A and B are shown apart, each in its own frame.
Chain A
Amino acid sequence: MNIFRLAGDMTHLASVLVLLLKIHTIKSCAGISLKTQELYALVFATRYLDLFTDYISLYNTLMKLIFLVSSFSIVWYIRHHKIVRRSYDKDQDTFRHYFLVLPCFLLALVINEKFTVKEIMWTFSLYLEAVAILPQLVLLQRTRNIDNLTGQYVFLLGAYRSLYILNWIYRYFTEPHYVHWITWISGLVQTLLYADFFYYYFQSWKNNVKLELPA
Chain B
Amino acid sequence: TDESDVHDEL
Contacts and interface: CB of A to CB of B under 8 A. Distances in A.
Interface of A: 5, 9, 12, 50, 54, 56, 60, 63-64, 67, 114, 118-119, 122, 164, 167, 177, 183
A50 B6 contact: yes
A60 B10 contact: yes
B10 A54 contact: no
**Contact residues of A: prevailing secondary structure:** helix
B10 A63 contact: yes
B8 A60 contact: yes
Contacts of A60: 8, 10
Contact of A67 (B1, B5, B8, B10): B10
A183 B10 CA distance: 12
A5 B9 contact: yes
Interface residues of B, number: 8
Nearest to A171: B9
Nearest to B9: A5
Nearest to B8: A56
Contact of B1 (A5, A54, A122, A177): A54
B5 A114 contact: yes
B5 A56 contact: no
B10 A122 contact: no
A54 B9 contact: no
8 contacts: A5-B9, A50-B6, A50-B7, A54-B1, A54-B6, A56-B6, A60-B8, A118-B5
A164 B5 CA distance: 20
A42 to B, nearest CB: 16
Contacts of A183: 9
Nearest to A1: B8
Contacts of A54: 1, 5-6
